[in-house]
């Protein structure tokens, strides 16, 4: 790549994509990472496919115009479902990586054959999720317990992670899974790893949680070879938000204070 650094744009509706950034930090070196928390439009999961597609296209345009990115990581299952094909079509030269619920690793992991899938309403209702299930789970001896979690992203965004209401909501969704001997749960929304500790407590630690950050990081590293990225040196990270964001939650994810720049898209 000459002296130019590998530039990566990552986005989500808010804090969730930071769980992917954490995984990228472990694997990607010597690059510049720009993260947009599109909190002005959160939660994506309650929006229409057309709205989510427009947010994704606007963010991609912003990254290209302002940062000349080489790769775009859609760190959001909901936006991947609504926009990934359009993004790839519109930017054929860009490395575009999406996030999909980890059904495949869950099938490899389960012993009881009963798998829980927690995701947003938009992800579960999207055609892409159905295709994934048809491709991977249909003929296998597994049963999927799918559950949309309306309101959970708001709870997480509002820094109410440990609020009793968060646990009550999760209990309501998880009890049927416990009763049905679900032993593996797919976290099909990048926000949900932020409440892993509550999910584990409700499932009495007897549960395997699947999230996709590590797989995304490996995939990006592989694709970065196409543009001869050397992957050594320091990874710099710059955070942006389109609306309000809870600084303390960002700090909680990174373990230190991070500066956040507000932008209008």
**Which residues here bind ligand DGL, judged by CB under 6 A?**
12-13, 16, 42-45, 76-78, 120, 123, 153, 189-191
- Single out the catalytic residue among 189, 199, 220, 250: 189
CB of 118 to ligand DGL, least distance (A): 10
Question: What Å distances lie between residue 79 and 14, 53, 82, CA to CA?
Answer: 12, 7, 5
Residue found by looking up tokens 């599109």 in the block: 38
CA separation, residue 206 to residues 91, 151, 197, 199, 228 (Å): 43, 25, 12, 10, 43
Lookup: tokens for 32? 């510049």
Q: What is the DSSP letter of 206?
A: -
Cβ proximity to ligand DGL: between 55 and 62 the closer is 55
Backbone angles phi, psi at 153, to 5 degrees: -60, -40
- In the complex, least distance from residue 41 CB atom to ligand DGL, rounded to whole angstroms: 8
- Select 106 or 153, whichever has its Cβ closest to ligand DGL: 153
Tokens at 190, concatenated: 């990048």
**Rounded Cα gap, residues 75 and 236, in angstroms:** 18
Q: Which of 23, 76, 87, 118 is the catalytic position?
A: 76
Residue 43 Cβ, how far from ligand DGL at the closest point, in Å? 3
- Lateral strand order in the sheet of 114-119: 143-148, 114-119, 184-187, 208-210
Concerning whether 76 is annotated as a catalytic residue, the answer is yes
Q: What tokens were used for 14?
A: 């808010």
Contact 40, 104 (CB under 8 A): no
Q: What is the per-residue burial (b if ≥16 Cβ within 10 Å, else e) of 26-50? A: ebbebbbbbbbbbbbbbbbbbbeee
Is 149 one of the annotated active-site residues of the chain? no
Residues 132/99, Cβ–Cβ less than 8 Å: no
Nearer to ligand DGL, 59 or 153 (CB): 153
The least CB distance from residue 218 to ligand DGL, in Å, is 18
Report, in Å, the least distance between residue 204 CB and ligand DGL. Answer: 26
Nearer to ligand DGL, 45 or 102 (CB): 45
Closest CB to ligand DGL among residues 121, 218: 121
CB of 19 to ligand DGL, least distance (A): 9
Q: Considering beta carbons, is residue 42 or 237 the nearer one to ligand DGL?
A: 42
Q: Which residue is nearest to ligand DGL (CB)?
A: 45
Strand partners, 9: 34, 72
- Catalytic residue positions? 76, 189
């Amino acid at each position: 790549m000459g002296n130019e650094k590998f530039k990566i744009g990552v986005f989500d509706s808010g804090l969730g994509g930071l769980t992917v950034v954490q995984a990228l930090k472990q694997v990607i070196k010597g690059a510049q990472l720009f993260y947009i928390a599109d909190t002005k439009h959160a939660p994506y999961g309650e929006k229409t496919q057309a709205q989510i597609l427009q947010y994704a296209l606007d963010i991609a345009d912003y990254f290209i115009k302002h940062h000349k990115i080489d790769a775009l990581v859609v760190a959001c299952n909901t936006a991947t479902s609504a926009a990934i094909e359009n993004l790839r079509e519109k930017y054929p030269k860009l490395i575009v990586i999406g996030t999909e619920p980890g059904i495949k690793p869950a099938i490899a992991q389960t012993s009881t054959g009963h798998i829980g899938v927690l995701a947003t309403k938009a992800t579960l209702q999207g055609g892409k999720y159905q295709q994934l299930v048809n491709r991977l789970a249909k003929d296998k001896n597994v049963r999927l317990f799918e559950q949309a979690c309306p309101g959970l992203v708001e709870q997480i965004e509002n820094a109410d992670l440990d609020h009793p209401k968060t646990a009550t909501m999760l209990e309501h969704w998880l009890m049927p899974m416990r009763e049905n001997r679900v032993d593996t749960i797919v976290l099909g929304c990048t926000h949900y790893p932020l409440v892993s500790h509550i999910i584990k407590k409700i499932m009495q630690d007897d549960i395997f949680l699947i999230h996709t950050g590590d797989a995304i990081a490996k995939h990006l590293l592989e694709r970065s070879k196409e543009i001869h990225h050397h992957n050594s040196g320091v990874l710099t990270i710059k955070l942006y938000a389109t609306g309000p964001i809870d600084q303390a939650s960002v700090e909680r994810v990174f373990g230190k204070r991070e500066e956040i720049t507000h932008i209008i898209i």
